[in-house]
Amino acid sequence: MGDNVDERSTVDGRETVVGKWIEVMEGKEEVERGKEEVERGKEEAERGKEEVEGRKEEAERKKEEVEGRKKEVEGRKEEAERGKGEGEGEEGEGGEINQDLSTFEDLLEAVIGERGRWNYLLYFICSYGSLVSALQTMSYQVLGATPDYWCQVDQLLAAKWTTQQILNFAIPFKRTGKRDQS
């Protein structure tokens, strides 16, 4: 073989051992990269499993919390029914006064109260749209009116025009005989 023989040269039409060895080594490197990718995939799958488990636990906690609230509401309903049967204004267990909660308004009054921060906040939030709408409606009274005035033209006053002549010149008449104020 001569000096110009590269690593993948052929001898009698066949690749040399060095060329085959390079191909094998490149294949091994590719296999190693594939193994690394598989390991990263396994790690991501483990993290995903842990996240799913955490979410399942959180969902279970929330489900238990909802069940507890349902039981609490049922207990309150039963207390309300018992209080309704005992009569209005009687003292129940724990010194609480049982009230007739036959309407939704009565229930809200019993739970929230008549006047508090929440009531005022809700009132102002609901009233805001009406206030803005009223301001827009009333703005026409100020913006839509045409005042009874005209511009003072100093050149006409200096030319000794009368007020009636300036009005006739500055504010023309309509065909109806009235001045055009638009």
Three state DSSP letters for 62-106: HHHHHHHHHHHHHHHHHHHHHHHHHCCCCECHHHCECCCCCCHHH
Query: Given this model, what pLDDT does residue 133 score?
Result: 92
What is residue 10's three-state secondary structure? Answer: strand
Query: Given this model, what pLDDT does residue 140 score?
Result: 86
Q: Which residue has the higher pLDDT, 90 or 165?
A: 165
Tell me: pLDDT of 23 over 90: no
Angstrom distance (rounded) from CA 151 to CA 155: 12
What would the pLDDT profile of 118-164 be if each residue is shown by its tens digit?
888 888 999 999 999 999 988 888 888 776 677 778 888 899 998 88
Sign of CA dihedral 115, 121, 122, 123: positive
Other beta carbons less than 10 A from residue 164's beta carbon:
8
Tell me: pLDDT of 8 over 70: no
Domain boundaries, the chain: 16-84+100-148, 149-182
Tell me: pLDDT of 62 over 50: yes
Sign of CA dihedral 143, 144, 149, 151: positive
Tell me: pLDDT of 27 over 80: yes
Answer whether 101's CB lies under 8 Å from 107's CB.
yes
Other beta carbons less than 10 A from residue 167's beta carbon:
14
Tell me: pLDDT of 10 over 90: no
Answer whether 101's CB lies under 8 Å from 84's CB.
yes
Q: Calculate mean pLDDT across residues 3-9.
A: 51
Sorting pLDDT into bands at 50, 70 and 90, what band is 109?
Answer: confident
Sorting pLDDT into bands at 50, 70 and 90, what band is 92?
Answer: very low
pTM (2 d.p.): 0.29
